[in-house]
Amino acid sequence: MATQDIIARSATTTASPSVRQFDEVAKLIDTTVCIGCKACQVACSEWNDLRDEVGDNVGVYDNPSDLTADSWTVMRFDEHETSEGDLEWLIRKDGCMHCEDPGCLKACPSPGAIVKYDNGIVDFDQDKCIGCGYCVTGCPFDVPRISKKDNKAYKCTLCSDRVSVGLEPACVKTCPTGAIVFGTKDEMKEHANWRIQDLKGRGYENAGIYDPQGVGGTHVMYVLHHADKPQLYSDLPKDPAISPLVGAWKGVAKPLAMLAMAATAAAGFFHYIRIGPNRVSKEDEAAVEHDAAQAGTNSPDAGGTSDER
Amino acid sequence: MNGNENQDLQRYNANERSNHWAVALLFVLAALSGLALFHPALFWLTNLFGGGPWTRILHPFIGVAMMLFFLGLAFRFAGRNRFKAHDRQWLSQWRDVISNQEENLPRIGKYNAGQKLLFWVLVISMLALLFSGIVIWREYFSDFFGIGMIRFASLLHAFAAFVLITSIIVHVYAAIWVKGSVGAMTSGKVSRAWARKHHALWYDEVRKNQR
């Protein structure tokens, strides 16, 4: 994408180019239609040329068991027993949510290593990444991973390379049930509303969209059967937001600390100019000579008491 | 027997001076590399360390080295930095201190209350930096800690570094302001008049020991 399309940039305190108008995009993941086939995982590694190490089965369907620097999306499986005693298999495709207000971008200290495009995609530039892991600290969804091979941060790009030339993300293209759809954010909301109405008609009273406003909304949204309890879906946070600790660290602390340090140095400078240095005076030197003379004639204790002035 | 009555007084020996300057040099490197990662306006400082990734790699090692040398310094100087009754009086007369009206102040030993305060602030901020720094040392240690702990440590690390850097600005200015002080840490010597004016009890003590 052109540099004009970058509307937010890590470690940058001035405005990014913002005159162009662009429709925000979104990926909608309908958990109620997902069958957990993991074709999206395969398509992701296929398109992005990622080959994660073959791991161990941890006793459940989750495989790999967590996001890694080489697995940018994973299916998370949860068995949920409803109050009626029915079993529901809640499957959620996990990965970067592409927040409108990204915690990773806020935390990143390297200018331009994390950018947000005007279509809403949040992307990492590994060339500028320094490997500090602050993006991991900042993310409310526990998504970025630092590679053990190169100490760079990786996560889902929402296939920004495909989207920029008018293609849908690889996971969307491959999904066999249409559980993953892609378009403008408005279209996706409309699509979600239609799905939610359908679900409500089938008895899922709490069906709803997951587009958390604590991070300004996301460019990856979910349709959930139980939108009132997103935690059921492998701990999807109910009200995600940038942690106040990260907010303080990367917000008010930066200018305040810089100002206070500069003010301390300035206070020293002006103290020197207004009041001036503290010098040893002629009288102080004379007193020392007096002490020495006394020490020569008096008892050894004399030096200790002779300097009262 | 009083042949040395005109010589300057030894304030720090060669080991103490070397230790001090080792900490000081490592502090400058740690502060510059840390500030580079703290505020975007100072990210250019990463160029001094060979770029962003090198700054990220070096900073924690520099910090640990500074901490080790600082521990040496702290053990050398801790005994002389215990607060005494006259320190409260000295601090309450801070207006006399900053307006160079030293004759109004109580007679003090090797360190005044301001220096003692600085010493303990440095001890606390250094320890806070060490522990929070380990938690946020992503390459080796962060995997052992929860995200809440890492976030808290990140903020604490920045705050402790701010306290440390500000304290050192005050420390450096005090050395510029009170003339005759710098020699204590270069040649190790101060003039008798300097000692008598600023650290009268220490002056008495040294003279007594010389006899």
DSSP for chain A, written as a single string: --GGGEEEETT--SPPP-----PPEEEEEETTT-----HHHHHHHHHTT--PPP----SSS-SSSS-BTTBS-EEEEEEEE-TTS-EEEEEEEES---BSS-HHHHH--STTSEEEETTS-EEE-TTT-----HHHHH-TT---EE-TTT--EE---TTHHHHTTTPPPHHHHH-TTS-EEEEEHHHHHHHHHHHHHHHHHTT-TT-EEE--GGGT-BSEEEEETTTT-GGGTTS--SS----HHHHHHHTTHHHHHHHHHHHHHHHHHHHHHHT--B---HHHHHHHHHHHHHHHHS-TTHHHHTT--
In a shared domain, residues A173 and A24? yes
The answer to whether the beta carbons of residues A266 and B50 sit under 8 Å apart is no
pLDDT tens readout for residues A92-134: 999 999 999 999 999 999 999 999 999 999 999 999 999 999 9
In a shared domain, residues A180 and A285? no
The answer to whether B103 contacts chain A (CB < 8 Å) is yes
| Predicted confidence (pLDDT) at residue A153 exceeds the cutoff of 70 | yes
Partner-chain contact B193 A288, CB within 8 Å: yes
What is the token pair recorded at A108? 């990143």
A160 within some domain: yes
- pLDDT score of A302: 41
A293 within some domain: yes
Q: What's the DSSP call for residue B198?
A: H
Contacts of B170 (CB under 8 A, 6+ apart): A264, A268, B118
The winner for highest mean pLDDT among A50-54, A300-304, B99-103, B121-125 is: B121-125
In a shared domain, residues A218 and A259? no
A199 within some domain: yes
d(CA A125, CA B176): 45
- pLDDT score of B1: 39
| Predicted confidence (pLDDT) at residue B99 exceeds the cutoff of 90 | yes
Which of A242, A264, A292 terminates a domain? The answer is A242
Q: How far is A305 from chain B (nearest CA, A)?
A: 9
Contacts of B89 (CB under 8 A, 6+ apart): B105, B106
Q: Residue-wise over B57-84: b if at least 16 C-beta within 10 A, else e?
A: bbbbebbbbbbebbbbbbeebeeebeee
Q: In chain B, which among 133-172 make CB contacts under 8 A with chain A? A: 136, 138-139, 142, 147-148, 150-152, 154-155, 158-159, 162, 165-166, 169-170
A161 within some domain: yes
Of A152, A139, A116, which Cα lies nearest the Cα of B52? A152
**Whole-number average pLDDT of chain A:** 92
A71 within some domain: yes
* CATH code of the domain covering residue A152: 3.30.70.20
d(CA A170, CA A45): 9
**Average pLDDT, stretch B56-61?**
98
Contacts of A147 (CB under 8 A, 6+ apart): A69, A70, A153, A154
**Number of Cβ pairs < 8 A linking chain A and chain B:** 150
In a shared domain, residues A48 and A147? yes
In a shared domain, residues A199 and A106? yes
Of B154, B133, B131, which Cα lies nearest the Cα of B60? B133
In a shared domain, residues A7 and A110? yes
In a shared domain, residues A238 and A269? no
Enclosing domain of residue A50: 3-242
d(CA A294, CA A57): 89
How would residue A1 be classed by pLDDT, with cut points 50, 70 and 90?
low
| Predicted confidence (pLDDT) at residue A301 exceeds the cutoff of 60 | no
Best mutation target among A137, A139, A283, A301 (most B Cβ atoms within 10 Å) is: A137
A248 within some domain: no
Contacts of B135 (CB under 8 A, 6+ apart): B141, B142, B145, B149, B150, B153
**Average pLDDT, stretch B46-54?**
97
The answer to whether the beta carbons of residues A29 and A92 sit under 8 Å apart is yes
In a shared domain, residues A264 and A130? no
| Predicted confidence (pLDDT) at residue A309 exceeds the cutoff of 60 | no
A28 within some domain: yes
| Predicted confidence (pLDDT) at residue A143 exceeds the cutoff of 90 | yes
In a shared domain, residues A290 and A186? no
pLDDT tens readout for residues A248-280: 999 999 999 999 999 999 999 999 999 999 999
In this structure, the strands spanning A114-117 and A180-184 are unpaired
- pLDDT score of A17: 81
Contacts of A142 in chain B (CB under 8 A): 147
A50 within some domain: yes
In a shared domain, residues A230 and A262? no
Percentage of the residues of chain A whose pLDDT score is greater than 70 = 94
pLDDT tens readout for residues B185-195: 999 999 999 99
The answer to whether A177 contacts chain B (CB < 8 Å) is no
Contacts of A261 in chain B (CB under 8 A): 162, 165-166, 169
The answer to whether the beta carbons of residues B136 and B181 sit under 8 Å apart is no
In a shared domain, residues A179 and A69? yes
| Predicted confidence (pLDDT) at residue A299 exceeds the cutoff of 60 | no
How would residue A297 be classed by pLDDT, with cut points 50, 70 and 90?
low
Q: How far is B178 from chain A (nearest CA, A)?
A: 5
pLDDT tens readout for residues B140-173: 999 999 999 999 999 999 999 999 999 999 999 9
In a shared domain, residues A257 and A223? no
**Average pLDDT, stretch B115-122?**
98
How would residue A5 be classed by pLDDT, with cut points 50, 70 and 90?
confident
Cα torsion B93, B94, B96, B100 to 10°: value is 150
d(CA A269, CA A277): 11
User: What are φ and ψ of residue B187, in 5° steps?
Assistant: -85, -20
Domain count within chain A: 2
A281 exposed, middle or buried (CB, 10 Å; 0-12, 13-18, 19+)? Answer: exposed
- ipTM of the complex as predicted: 0.93
Strand partners, A123: A115
A148 exposed, middle or buried (CB, 10 Å; 0-12, 13-18, 19+)? Answer: exposed
| Predicted confidence (pLDDT) at residue A247 exceeds the cutoff of 50 | yes
Which residue type occupies B41?
Answer: A
